């Protein structure tokens, strides 16, 4: 993997935004990147720089991605270079054409930028395997050239056998120890292959030639594979006068057989985990669906995706990430080891489950002979458990979670590819939802996937036509009994679909790069509202704005903030940005530089969803942040006493670093009490206020609000501060 990290990627896309995003994402992943904005430039760059991988957009003016791919394949250096094509979502035809043009893999847009580099690493690794494969084919033909052949001649009537000296060497024997007559060879043949050899010799006795591969056992016990070719001898050399003479040649092909096995291994099995790869999985699936149709049985596909695996790689390093994948692969294989009796598999002995690695952190399980969907879901549930079991890595214990999409043949699809796709659609559904990690395919999901596709266009339009609305959720200081801050939360009242949930459109905006204009639009709206509210605001009142990772990596972030502040006349001290730990930790040098600039300007920074990532105290100390926001999930757990330790630790940490600490998602008096008791006084949550319009916020700023009686004793008397 270390080699891959320095790999050079050529990004070809006519859309400057996608190009920029890809470049950012890849540089961040440790790759060297060159960019080309059209096919002609791409071909020239390829020639000059010989990149290790090409990321190629399908739709480009001039030479299309397909043309470029085809031309690359004609170049000597381009024959084996991996080419990943970027196609539209659900654009089956393009995918087909991409593969026809010689593409190695494809990624459908919108692109998941975080996963992109892992996908690329994965493809680079398979490319290495392909290259190794062609090298081993080469050495194989060399081996054949220098292979030593043994030969013999057998007068069938006389029973006389003449064998070459080399022949005996193939059996690891001396002439004296081998035995004299033709049948002596049988003694040297590996038990299970003897009957085949005897049958072949019997037919040779009748003058019938044969070619047979069998194994021989050397006196030292080692087993070699030989190939024997036998023909009746030519009659015109005079020797045949006494009757039938057979001639044979024997070749040791052990290396060749091993190499074939290895080639198969390379082509069909994943390097890292030893599991079958996607290719092989697909072949199994073709077999299973064909059997299913013939014997009227059902089979199913489950696709398992490890949650936030990118994060494991980021925080523990790619080597540990690999080890974790190996362990998961091992567990899946161990737990899915049931076998089917031969009859149920339609005659051939097939395993009930087949596990494969489909992509970086995606595994597939083929289930033969499904009895009931309920059984199947039980199995999927078991898979989830298997992934969830804690993993010990040096110094810590981590717990992974996974999501599973399931599809059944013939219920959801009748051919292999459609079945796999249905399972992946179900998986995507499980990934987008916040709830059940297990999803069984339904037609609705196909519709939903299509809707998401169209949602991208709608989002683009909504930003342009100013359809987005801002709302604000007050943050109260319980000691002051006052609203001291508010978090700006975006709303999208979609004309035909109703309100689109923020996580849905935010992730879509991140994947498509639309988050950059979207955040600018948020910044402008918030500043306009701040101006409107200015006369009612206390001097230190702030509004916080959420920034996504893409925003944080955007080189235009700081200039944009400066520009909008200057245009609207809002003071930088009115703003705060919320960034998650993961975003901040991803590139510490970058984070340090950006945070310093924000601090210089007077814009504050809060760490959002604190406690859910892997940040360390040392890093936190280095970064110029001003506040921590305790994640809602921990506050939620306060009710049953669970989250107490974490909440206490976060509050202690914040205090020791001199940071402000805000609790999010406070819904109950009991939670409020627990927080106050531990010294957290900044509270955000439905207990006090839902996100509201700017006007409603203005009203709330002026009025006193209800404080639950239970917490009164924990507070300084009103007005004492
Ligand atoms: P977040 O930053 O963690 O925002 C807090 C979310 O918790 C908001 O959800 C808020 O409505 C919800 N919430 C607040 N109090 C409570 C409570 O007491 N109980 C419960 N159950 N929920 C509470 P919302 O508005 O749906 O936003 C979801 C996420 O979408 C936000 O999570 C944030 O990550 C993202 N988001 C929203 N607006 C923006 C934006 O303008 N830019 C960016 N980049 N992300 C945004
Ligand atoms: Ca937030
Ligand atoms: Ca949050």
Q: Whose CA is nearest to atom 26 of ligand 1?
A: 502
> To test the ligand 1 pocket, which listed residue (473, 474, 502, 564) has its Cβ within 8 A of the most ligand atoms?
502
What's the pLDDT tens digit per position in 372-431?
A: 999 999 999 999 999 999 988 777 788 888 999 999 999 999 899 999 999 999 998 898
Ligand 2 centroid–CA 236 distance in Å is 94
Q: Which of 200, 228, 258 is the last residue of a domain?
A: 258
> Is 130 contained in some domain?
no
Ligand 1 proximity of 502 Cβ (cutoff 6 Å): yes
CA atoms within 13 A on the CB side of 654: 25
Residue 135 placed within a domain:
no
Banded model confidence at residue 339, pLDDT cuts 50, 70, 90: very low
Last residue of a domain, one of 441, 466, 488: 441
Is the CB–ligand 1 distance for residue 34 below 6 Å? no
Ligand in closest contact with the CA of 547 = 1
Please give the model's pTM, rounded to 2 decimal places.
Answer: 0.52
C-beta separation of 242 from 158 below 8 A: yes
Q: Is 211 among the domain residues?
A: yes
Measured from the CB, is residue 667 less than 6 Å from ligand 1?
yes
Token pair 């306060």 is found at 638
The pLDDT of residue 340: 42
- Residue carrying structure tokens 């804690």: 390
Do 86 and 33 share a domain, yes or no?
yes
Q: Predicted confidence band at 234 (pLDDT cuts at 50, 70, 90)?
A: low
Question: Which of the pair, 215 or 452, is modelled with greater confidence?
Answer: 215
Ligand 1 test: best mutation among 471, 489, 683, most atoms within 8 Å of CB? Answer: 489
248 pocket-lining for ligand 1 (C-beta < 6 Å): no
Give the ranges where 569-668 is alpha helix by DSSP (H): 581-586, 588-601, 617-622, 632-637, 644-656
Residues 158, 105 share a domain? no
- Alpha carbon of 523 to those of 130, 467, 567, 576: distances in Å? 49, 15, 11, 11
Mean pLDDT value of segment 90-104: 82
Do 312 and 245 belong to one domain? no
Neighbours of ion ligand 2 (CB under 5 A): 546, 578, 608
**Nearest of 382, 381, 359, 355 to residue 368 by alpha carbon:** 355
Protein residue whose Cα sits closest to atom 6 of ligand 1? 665
pLDDT higher than 60, residue 241: no
**Comparing 296-310, 329-343, 503-517, which segment has the lowest mean pLDDT?**
329-343
279 and 383 fall within a common domain? yes
In a domain, 265, yes or no: no
* Nearest bound ligand to the CA of residue 684: 1
Q: How remote is the CA of residue 608 from the centroid of ligand 2, in Å? A: 5
Task: Clarify whether residues 253 and 331 are in a common domain.
Answer: no
> Do 297 and 421 sit in the same domain of this protein?
yes
Q: Kindly give the distance from the C-alpha atom of residue 611 to the centroid of ligand 2, in angstroms, as a whole number.
A: 13
State if residue 548 touches ligand 1 by the CB under 6 angstroms criterion.
yes
pLDDT beyond 70 at 345: no
- Assign residue 153 the CATH number of its domain: 3.30.450.20
CATH of the domain at 421: 3.30.70.270
In a domain, 142, yes or no: no
Query: Nearest residue CA, atom 10 of ligand 1?
Result: 691
**Rounded average pLDDT over 326-334:** 91
CA distances, 257 to each of 138, 140, 213, 252 (Å): 14, 10, 10, 10
Mutate-to-test residue for ligand 1 from 527, 546, 692, highest number of ligand atoms within 8 A of CB: 546
Q: Measure the CA dihedral 179/182/184/185, to 10°.
A: 120
Report how far ligand 1's centroid is from the alpha carbon of 489 (Å): 6
Look at the chain and report how many structural domains it folds into: 4
Range with lowest mean pLDDT among 224-233, 260-269, 328-337: 260-269
Residue-wise pLDDT for 574-618, tens only, equals 999 999 987 888 788 899 999 999 999 999 999 998 877 655 667
**Cβ pair 56, 78 in contact under 8 A:** no
In the block, residue with structure tokens 């990772």 = 549
| Ligand 1 atom, smallest distance to 522 CA | 41
Task: Say if residue 183 is in the same domain as residue 93.
Answer: no
In this structure, the answer to whether residues 586 and 526 fall within a common structural domain is: yes
- The answer as to whether 176 is a domain residue is yes
Write the DSSP symbol of residue 332: H
Establish if 397 belongs to a structural domain. Answer: yes
- Token reading at 290: 């064909």
- Do residues 634 and 647 lie in contact, with contact meaning Cβ atoms separated by under 8 Å? yes
Which ligand approaches the C-alpha of residue 635 most closely?
Answer: 1
Strand partners, 245: 155
DSSP 109-154: ESP-HHHHHHHHHHHHHHHHHHHHHHHHHHHHHHHHHH--EEEEEE
CB atoms within 10 A of CB 411: 16
Instruction: Judge if the beta carbon of residue 685 lies within 6 A of ligand 1.
Output: yes
Give the whole-angstrom CA distance, residue 140 versus residue 137.
5
Confidence of residue 715 (pLDDT cuts 50, 70, 90): confident
Decide: 337 in ligand 1 pocket, CB within 6 A: no
Q: Give the DSSP letter of residue 135.
A: H
pLDDT of residue 341: 43
pLDDT of residue 719 exceeding 70 = no
Residue 580, ligand 1, Cβ within 6 A = no
CA of 679 to the centre of ligand 1 (A): 24
Enter the tokens of residue 674: 């627990």
Mode of pairing for the β-strands spanning 627-630 and 660-663: parallel
| Residue 398 bridge partners (DSSP) | 391
Nearest CA to ligand 1 atom 12: 665
Q: How far apart are CA 189 and CA 306, in angstroms?
A: 49
In the prediction, which pLDDT does 436 show? 87
Whether residue 321 sits in one domain with residue 189: no
Domain extent for 388: 275-339+350-441
DSSP structure string for 160-221: EEEE-HHHHHHTT--HHHH-SSTTHHHHHB-GGGHHHHHHHHHHHHTT--EEEEEEEE-TTS
Judging by DSSP bridges, how do beta strands 83-88 and 396-398 pair with one another? Answer: unpaired
Query: What per-residue confidence (pLDDT) applies to 142?
Result: 52
Asked whether the beta carbons of 230 and 200 are under 8 A apart, the reply is yes
Buried (b) or exposed (e) across 259-272, using 16+ Cβ within 10 A? Answer: beeebeebebbbbb
pLDDT tier at 224, thresholds 50, 70, 90: very high
Mean pLDDT over 458-473 rounds to: 94
- Report whether residue 277 contacts ligand 1, using a CB cutoff of 6 Å: no
Average pLDDT on 478-507 reads 92
Domain identity same for 434 and 578: no
Ligand 1 site, residue 506, Cβ cutoff 6 A: yes
Q: 637 near 643, Cβ under 8 Å? A: yes
* pLDDT over threshold 50, residue 347: no
Q: Which two tokens stand for residue 256?
A: 């060749």
Residue 218 has what pLDDT? 93
Q: Which residues of 351-388 are buried (b: 16+ CB within 10 A; e: fewer)?
A: ebbbbbbbbbbbbbbbbbbbeeeeebbebbeebeebbe
- Rounded CA-CA distance 153/162 in Å is 5
Structural contact between residues 419 and 281, judged by C-beta atoms closer than 8 angstroms:
no
Kindly give, in sequence order, each residue whose CB lies less than 8 Å from that of residue 11, ignoring residues fewer than 6 positions away.
Answer: 19, 22, 23, 26, 33, 34, 35, 36, 55
| 522 Cβ below 6 A of ligand 1 | yes
Residues 99, 78 share a domain: yes
Asked if residue 266 belongs to a domain, the reply is no
Sign (positive/negative) of CA torsion 319, 130, 275, 374?
A: positive
Task: Return the ∠ at Cα 358 (arms to 354 and 364), rounded to 5°.
Answer: 35
Does residue 474's CB lie within 6 angstroms of at least one atom of ligand 1? no
Instruction: Output the CA 696–ligand 2 centroid distance in Å.
Output: 20
In short, whether 504's Cβ falls inside 6 Å of ligand 1 is no
Ligand 1 within 6 A of CB of 608:
yes
Residue 568's domain is classified under what CATH number? 3.20.20.450
Q: Which among 416, 441, 466 is the end of a domain?
A: 441
Q: What is the C-alpha separation between 33 and 27, in angstroms, rounded?
A: 7
Four-residue CA torsion sign, 646, 652, 654, 660: positive
Q: In this structure, are 416 and 472 located in the same domain?
A: no
CB-ligand 1 contact for 665 (6 Å cutoff) = yes
Q: Domain containing 37 — which CATH number? A: 3.40.50.2300
């Amino acid at each position: 993997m270390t080699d891959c990290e320095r790999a050079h990627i050529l990004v070809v896309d006519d859309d400057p935004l996608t190009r920029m995003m890809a470049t950012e994402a890849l540089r961040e992943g440790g790759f060297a990147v060159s960019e080309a904005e059209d096919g002609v430039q791409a071909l020239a760059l390829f020639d000059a720089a010989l990149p290790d991988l090409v990321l190629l957009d399908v739709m480009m003016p001039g030479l299309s991605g397909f043309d470029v791919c085809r031309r690359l394949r004609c170049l000597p250096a381009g024959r084996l270079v991996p080419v990943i094509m970027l196609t539209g979502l659900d654009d089956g035809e393009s995918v087909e054409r991409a593969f026809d043009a010689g593409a190695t893999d494809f990624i459908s847009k919108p692109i998941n930028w975080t996963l992109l580099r892992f996908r690329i690493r994965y493809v680079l690794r398979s490319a290495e395997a392909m290259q190794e494969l062609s090298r081993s084919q080469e050495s194989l033909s060399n081996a054949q050239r220098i292979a030593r052949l043994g030969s013999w001649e057998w007068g069938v009537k006389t029973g006389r056998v003449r064998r070459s000296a080399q022949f005996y060497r193939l059996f690891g024997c001396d002439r004296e120890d081998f035995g004299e007559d033709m049948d002596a060879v049988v003694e040297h043949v590996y038990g299970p292959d003897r009957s085949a050899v005897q049958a072949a010799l019997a037919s040779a006795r009748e003058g019938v030639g044969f070619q047979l591969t069998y194994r021989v056992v050397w006196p030292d016990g080692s087993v070699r594979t030989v190939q024997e070719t036998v023909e009746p001898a030519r009659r015109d050399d005079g020797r045949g006068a006494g009757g039938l003479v057979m001639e044979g040649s024997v070749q040791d092909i052990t290396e060749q057989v091993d190499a074939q096995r290895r080639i198969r291994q390379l082509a069909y099995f994943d390097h890292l985990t030893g599991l079958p790869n996607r290719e092989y999985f697909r072949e199994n699936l073709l077999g299973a669906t064909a059997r299913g149709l013939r014997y009227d049985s059902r089979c199913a596909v489950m696709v398992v995706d490890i949650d936030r695996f990118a994060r494991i790689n980021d925080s523990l390093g790619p080597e540990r990430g690999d080890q974790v994948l190996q362990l998961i692969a091992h567990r899946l294989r161990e737990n899915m080891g049931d076998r089917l009796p031969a009859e149920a598999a339609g005659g051939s002995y097939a395993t009930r489950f087949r596990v494969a690695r489909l992509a970086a952190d995606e595994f597939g399980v083929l289930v033969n002979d499904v009895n009931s969907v309920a059984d199947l879901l039980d199995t999927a549930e078991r898979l989830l458990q298997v992934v969830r079991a804690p993993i010990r890595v040096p110094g810590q214990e981590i717990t992974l979670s996974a999501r599973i999409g399931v599809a059944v043949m013939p219920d959801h699809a009748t051919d292999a590819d459609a079945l796999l796709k249905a399972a992946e659609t179900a998986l995507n559904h499980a990934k987008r939802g916040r709830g059940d990690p297990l999803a069984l395919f339904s037609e609705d999901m196909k519709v939903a996937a299509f809707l998401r596709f169209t949602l991208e266009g709608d989002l683009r339009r909504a930003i342009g036509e100013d359809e987005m609305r801002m709302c604000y959720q007050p943050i109260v200081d319980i000691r002051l009994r006052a609203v001291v801050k508010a978090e700006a939360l975006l709303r999208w009242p979609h004309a035909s679909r109703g309100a689109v949930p923020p996580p849905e459109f935010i992730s879509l905006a991140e994947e498509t790069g639309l988050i950059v204009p979207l955040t600018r639009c948020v910044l402008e709206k918030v500043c306009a509202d701040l101006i409107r509210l200015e006369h009612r605001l206390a001097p230190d009142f702030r509004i916080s704005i959420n920034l996504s990772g893409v925003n944080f990596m955007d080189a235009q972030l700081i200039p944009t903030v400066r520009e909008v502040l200057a245009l609207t006349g809002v003071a930088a001290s009115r703003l705060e940005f919320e960034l998650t730990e993961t975003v901040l930790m991803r590139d510490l040098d970058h984070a340090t530089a950006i945070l310093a600039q924000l601090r210089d300007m007077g814009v504050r920074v809060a760490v959002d969803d604190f406690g859910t990532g892997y940040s360390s105290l040392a890093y936190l100390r280095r970064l110029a942040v001003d506040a921590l926001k305790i994640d809602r999930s921990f506050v939620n757990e306060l009710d049953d006493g669970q989250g107490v330790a974490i909440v206490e630790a976060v509050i202690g940490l914040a205090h020791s670093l001199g940071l402000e600490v805000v609790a999010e998602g406070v819904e109950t008096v009991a939670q409020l009490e627990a927080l106050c008791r531990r010294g957290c006084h900044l509270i955000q949550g439905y207990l006090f206020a839902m996100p509201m319009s700017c006007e409603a916020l203005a009203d709330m700023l002026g009025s006193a609000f209800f404080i639950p009686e239970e917490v009164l004793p924990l507070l300084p008397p009103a007005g004492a501060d």
